[in-house]
Structure 1
Amino acid sequence: MAKSESASPVVLILASGRGERFLASGGSGSKLQALLAGRPVLDWTLEAVKACGLPWHLEDAGHAGMGDSIAAAVAAAREAGGWLVLPGDLPLVRPQSLRAVAAALATHAVVLPRHLGQRGHPVGFDASCREALLKLRGPQGAQEVVRAQAAAGRVLELDLDDAGVVTDIDTLQDLRAAEQALSARSP
């Protein structure tokens, strides 16, 4: 499960959601277990995380909301030098994108990856955000932490040439689109 922690950032893979939009779109079961090119969505995400070389933690206990999931994951990797918050439903994210976000944390408190102007994941937080992340609750995730750091001028919007940072699986249509993107991807 979790790799050893050090001063480097830890990738926090969030796999606690209920996937209500996926079910509403006609999907059955967990969207993270839905098959993408014959493998569960979460397996693709984990493969990219393992390939990036950073330590990681899979947060898959049931939580009331995204904020609760982030707080639990940060608590599990409390001594890390920072955290990359990555929802488990981003199967096309590339290892180099994870490394780029981690590297940018050396000079910024928060790193927001973007692809063609659209914000995505993983969102990076340096160790100065620890206490605020540990206090998160509810469905809003870490938006208030990002806003506070933006007000202090400590946020970087990092443009990446990786559609995988914005390609999440929320519906059956998203799953089909990811399948097409995966088959078009060059190795």
Structure 2
Amino acid sequence: MRPTVIVLASGRGERFTASGGTTHKLQALLAGKPVLQHTLDAVRASGLPWRLEDAGHPGMGDSIAAAVRATWPSSGWLVLPGDLPLIRSDTLRSIAAALQTHDVVVPLYRGQRGHPVGFHARCGEALLNLKGARGAAAVVLARGAFELDVQDIGCVTDIDTVDDLRAAGLLINP
């Protein structure tokens, strides 16, 4: 059994609209496609099972818990925010592979922690009990995280503002 990629798409994207965005950040166009579509394309290309969690939960912890519940049982989960349109499918596969020997795996790009964060099935009960806006930070802290060096700027390139969208566009079309 392979770990499941959970794509989180329940947030309101308020910082994006506050920065001048005219649509939800996940629907904003990047190189002619919505941000979320770029993320989902990479997930599909990884070959891993996946679930889009877009039910509008009150916090990231609630979204993660709902997605884990919906995909139970699994050998683990990769928690991927939907606003990482440059994530590479090989990064997803590398994190999934590292879960064979680690409880929690965090990608590290040039010293900066990114996403998705991978969780082995041993973390399942803790993930099911998450609530609120802090996501799975408490699980990462409690279990410790293996930092996996990756050469993927996409794991740290999220879209929170119009400027972030513009910067991601330059990375796609330099």
Q: TM-score range by the shorter chain?
A: over 0.9
Aligned counterpart, 2:61? 67
Gaps of 5+ in 1: 1-6
**2:125 alignment partner, SS class:** helix
Scaled by the length of structure 2, the TM-score of the pair is 0.99
Counterpart Cα distance in 2 of 1:57 and 1:174: 25
1:37-56 matched pairs, under 5 angstroms = 37-56=31-50
1:114 aligns with 2:104: no
The amino acid that maps onto 1:169 is I
Q: How many residues align?
A: 174
Aligned counterpart, 1:3? none
1:156 aligns with 2:156: no
1:86 aligns with 2:85: no
Counterpart Cα distance in 2 of 1:165 and 1:59: 19
Identical residues among aligned pairs (%):
65
Gaps of 5+ in 2: none
**2:26 alignment partner, SS class:** helix
Post-superposition Cα deviations, 1:136-168, rounded to whole Å, max 9, x if no partner, equal 000000000001101xxxx21011000000000
1:100-179 matched pairs, under 5 angstroms = 100-150=94-144, 155-179=145-169
The amino acid that maps onto 2:112 is Q
Counterpart Cα distance in 2 of 1:182 and 1:63: 31
The amino acid that maps onto 2:129 is K
The amino acid that maps onto 1:54 is L
Scaled by the length of structure 1, the TM-score of the pair is 0.92
Q: CA deviation at 1:29?
A: 2.1
**RMSD between aligned residues:** 0.6
Post-superposition Cα deviations, 1:58-110, rounded to whole Å, max 9, x if no partner, equal 00100101101110111111111000000000000000000000000000000
**2:51 alignment partner, SS class:** strand
Aligned counterpart, 1:4? none
